[in-house]
Chains A and B, each alone.
Chain A
Amino acid sequence: MTKAIERPEQFFLQKYGLSTSSLESAIGGVLGKRIDYADLYFEYQTSESISLEEGIVKKVSKNISQGVGVRAIAQEKTGYAYSDDITTDQLLVAAKTARYIAEEGGSKGSVPVQVTAPSRNLYPVSTPPIEIPVEQKIKLLEEIDRIARQYDPRIKKVMASFSSEQKIVLIANSQGVVTGDVLPLMRLNVSCIAEEQGNRQVGTFGGGGRREYSYFLDERRFEEYAMEAARQAIMNLSAIDTPAGVMEVVLGPGWPGILLHEAIGHGLEADFNRKGTSAFSGKIGQRVASELCTVVDDGTLPWRRGSLNVDDEGTPTGRTVLIEKGILKGYLQDRLNATLMKMPLTGNGRRESYAHSPMPRMTNTYMLAGESSPEEIIRSVRKGLYAVSFGGGQVDITSGKFVFSASEAYLIENGKIGSPVKGATLIGNGPDVLTKVTMVGNDMSLDSGIGTCGKDGQSVPVGVGMPTIKVSELTVGGTKS
């Protein structure tokens, strides 16, 4: 077992022979007269994926990817080039391409840099999850398979997967800063198919984070995941048609926070707001939610899937208040947009890998707890929908219209939770959906660590969270009109 890497710059130095002076000359090579900023992003990622179905492990795979991305910025222009050969020669070739955006040539020779370590580690692990022997993970998946099948004889198929990765990054920029990070990440996922008289239904649950492998064993979490997936599949066997139209909707705590991610979060990413293409453009200081709503994006939560010590431009992550008591407060920034908008960095410059240039992205986005008890919230609804689990969502940031799809939902009748209903898509308008939040629960929780956000073809891990809330009207895309 290899020792956890503590010094990313040493890792790249030893593996690829990159010295501080080669970084200095590479950055100097990108910088020209008209280039305002340049950076290099080195990445070495190992990932592993194991999946089980029909009671046996069908897939074991391991992947190594490495590369360097070179970026040059001149005002609003970005030049980006990458290579999967980490050599001084390739760096210079990439630097020349990135620099193309500034019409004039002439490099600066060299820029002095200094290595700084992130001031904290939000995800210290004694053994990275990827280093845990494959045999142990296979045993865990087999155990999950057994537990899910035991839950109910109607559970006919169980699919379980474990994926983990370890990413080592080093970021060097033209302001002389060199910083690095080592990021563990893991995820355990269980899907069950239940069958009864030709009716087949699916249930899914999972979790993870930037954590120690033992997290799944503590409190027998893996067992909870298996039972939860099985429970959902069985519950869906009795689901009836979902009503269609506008109704009161109660969203459960945790993962339903995807509402915030779609309805609010994307629209507050700085790139869209700098360009004036977001439905939230120019709305800072205005009311966009009811007084009960305070929403933050926080990349500093220990162990979370969406957390980062530093963002992918080397800026320490922070906690950004997006909405405070209903008033729009701030945007999520990366370096390019913060500079052009003359606003402070928020540590939200993220990228999928060295093959992608950074953009403003969310980390962990959640709503702070309110004062109502969840029971009280449900009791207050005469006729409506209670949605507790969701699949994915999507938003058109320009029109503000967003959707998210329930995978577990119930009717509420006269203040009581009634029949389960088939999954349905909920649709609303980002700038006004939160103005219709009339109750906020005291049960704020974060999701279990399963979120992946896509934007412009780039996927990054994120987190969401929310207490139970009541939205006075939301359009439910059922089939029963």
Chain B
Amino acid sequence: MQFDINRAEELLKRAEKKGATGGDLIVVEGDSFSAQVRLKEVEKISNARGKSLGLRVFFGKRSAITSTSDLSPASLDRLVEDTCTLAQIAAEDPFAGLPPPELLAKHFPELDLVDTEVEKLPIEKKIDLARRAEQAALESDPRLTNSEGADFGHYHTFVLFASSNGFHGHYETTGASLSAMPIATQDGQMQRDYWYSSRRKLKDMESPEAIGKKAAMRTLRRLGARKVSTQQVPVIFDPENAASLLGHLASAISGYSIYKGASFLIDKLGTQIASNALTVYDDPTLRSGLGSRPFDGEGLPSYKKTVVENGVLKTYLLDTYSGKKLNLPSTGNAVRGISDPPSVGTSNFHMKPGKYTPQEIIRSVKSGLYVTELIGFGVNSVTGDYSRGAVGLWIENGELAYPVEEITIAGNLKEMFQQIEMVGNDLDPWRKTAAPTLKITRMTVAGN
């Protein structure tokens, strides 16, 4: 990293000389690579190197934030100047401020977030990983006639964070991912689907062959998809799509949504917001986890917390600001972007797995939908109203019977959470937001 802690502190001091009462600074530096192969040929190689710096400055209860990718001394001089000018124009916000120094992280957990093996691979080897994934997909079945290609990519990122209340910390992370998206044709109908693996370390990734085969299976099972008639039925979400429900939960219990009144879960702390089958943890300390980090976006310690326990909402997700607004301490969920003040985010947001196999869950349904893909943005986080396009498999007498598409599923998240009837044992802990297979008692499927 070119930018060190001394330069960071020097910039913060310079802001103080201009009258600032405090501030913080983040620098993110990194490089990334990606290779895309389509129908065996290399289609695209890209390589990038980038860095940027974000500076937030307080003048009492006024603040502003600026950022730049130009880290030259002249540019940073101007940045400090501009930020101080802007902060003095901004309105006073009685809740604004840095976290109290006594709450800052003093020790950082060793989280094992770096793997340099992947960077050492020659480009040809990296391309070969993508090529193998695509080949495994296309070789699975003659109906797989085309491809959107396969991608292999990796990144290495350094993060440095310092604040005028005495915090300084830095960490690095790496990550690699491999995906394949084959296309199948049958009777003039074309379908695509994909599979991928994304990990911090190369050795933890699924093999290219496994990824390709799973992408092929997912694509082939969509062939012959049809519409079904409009009805109310049980709906099973596969782990990918169940995780999206967890995402809606996270945004509804973000301190910002709560104090703005922009959530269907306001005033629900300590109450039963879901069936007792739902238990959710947020754990930034998971070893090599994709959502792990040694401290949060304001320098607060990372720790595992229970967010929902047997359906009862145990905590909102808070940073210092949203916590103050709700008269609660931060939960260490601050996320700091380069050009935005802290906001709230999750780390590894995982649902506790249940006891049922996915097959047992499917077997419990006489007639219903098994969702494999959701499209569109029909989720209203203020009301909880939910209506999204769905692709999946229709269940008849406990068996996956035939593929369906061009249908929607609708309900309200408040009721959907209460209606989590069965929870699978198939949680994938490698995902940042992860849930196992879930069965919701009843939703409206709209089709013919």
Chain A contact residues, CB within 8 Å of chain B: 49, 53, 56-67, 76-84, 94, 97-98, 100-101, 134-135, 138, 156-157, 159, 193, 195, 200-202, 242, 244-246, 275-277, 279, 355, 357, 391-396, 398-399, 401-405, 422-425, 427-429, 475-481
Contact = CB atoms under 8 A, between A and B. Distances in A.
Contacts of B41: 76-77
Contacts of A193: 260-262, 382
B77 interface: no
A263 B70 CA distance: 41
Interface residues of B, number: 78
B51 A79 contact: no
A429 B406 contact: yes
Interface stretch (B8-16, B82-90, B308-316): B82-90
Sorted from nearest, which 7 A-B pairs have the closest CB atoms? A477-B408, A403-B376, A403-B389, A425-B378, A244-B446, A392-B377, A80-B46
Given A64-B75, A202-B262, A398-B192, A425 B230 contact: no
B45 A56 contact: no
B93 interface: yes
Given A84-B52, A477-B387, A481-B231, 9 more contacts: A62-B82, A77-B41, A82-B50, A84-B69, A200-B382, A244-B446, A393-B376, A399-B225, A404-B376
Q: Which of B89, B93, B377, B389 has the most CB of A within 10 A?
A: B389
Q: Which of A98, A157, A277 has the most CB of B within 10 A?
A: A277
Nearest to B190: A398
B207 interface: no
B377 A479 contact: no
Contacts of A402: 375, 389
A315 B440 CA distance: 51
B48 A82 contact: yes
A246 B408 CA distance: 11
Interface in B187-245: 189-192, 222, 225, 227, 230-232
Interface in B82-132: 82-83, 86-87, 89-93, 123
B49 interface: yes
A interface: dominant SS: strand
Contacts of B45: 77-80, 97, 100-101
Given A60-B86, A403-B375, A479 B406 contact: no
B448 interface: yes
Interface stretch (B59-67, B271-279, B363-371): B59-67
B223 to A, nearest CB: 10
A138 B91 contact: yes
A478 B446 contact: yes
A481 B190 contact: no
19 contacts: A56-B92, A57-B90, A61-B64, A62-B66, A66-B69, A67-B50, A94-B47, A138-B89, A202-B382, A392-B376, A394-B375, A396-B375, A399-B222, A399-B225, A399-B405, A405-B377, A475-B408, A475-B448, A478-B387
Contacts of B376: 392-394, 403-405, 425, 427
Q: Which of B45, B75, B93, B222 has the most CB of A within 10 A?
A: B45
Q: Which of B91, B183, B405, B446 has the most CB of A within 10 A?
A: B446
Interface string B8-49: 000000000000000000000000000000100111111111
Interface of B: 38, 41-52, 63-70, 75, 79, 82-83, 86-87, 89-93, 123, 146, 148, 183, 189-192, 222, 225, 227, 230-232, 260-262, 338-341, 375-378, 380, 382-383, 385, 387-389, 391, 405-412, 444-448
Given A244-B444, A394-B377, A66 B70 contact: yes
A61 B382 contact: no
Given A157-B260, A427-B408, A477-B388, A61 B51 contact: no
Q: Which of A49, A97, A202, A399 has the most CB of B within 10 A?
A: A399
A56 B89 contact: no
Contacts of A399: 189-192, 222, 225, 391, 405
A70 B92 CA distance: 44
A477 B446 contact: yes
A425 B389 contact: yes
A205 to B, nearest CB: 16
Q: Which of B47, B67, B91, B377 has the most CB of A within 10 A?
A: B47
A61 B192 contact: no
A422 B384 CA distance: 11
A480 B385 CA distance: 13
A3 to B, nearest CB: 18
Contacts of A405: 376-378, 387
A83 B241 CA distance: 36
B445 to A, nearest CB: 8
Nearest to B189: A399
B190 A245 contact: no
A84 B387 contact: no
B123 A403 contact: no
Contact of B406 (A56, A200, A475, A476): A475
A452 to B, nearest CB: 12
A65 B46 contact: no
Contacts of A476: 408, 446
Contacts of A479: 387, 410-412, 444
Contact of A245 (B44, B191, B387, B448): B448
A8 to B, nearest CB: 17
B67 to A, nearest CB: 5
A108 B148 CA distance: 33
Contacts of B227: 475
B91 A63 contact: no
B377 A134 contact: no
Contact of A62 (B86, B123, B387, B447): B86
A63 B89 contact: no
Contacts of A63: 66-68, 338-339
A42 to B, nearest CB: 13
Q: Which of A57, A201, A403 has the most CB of B within 10 A?
A: A403
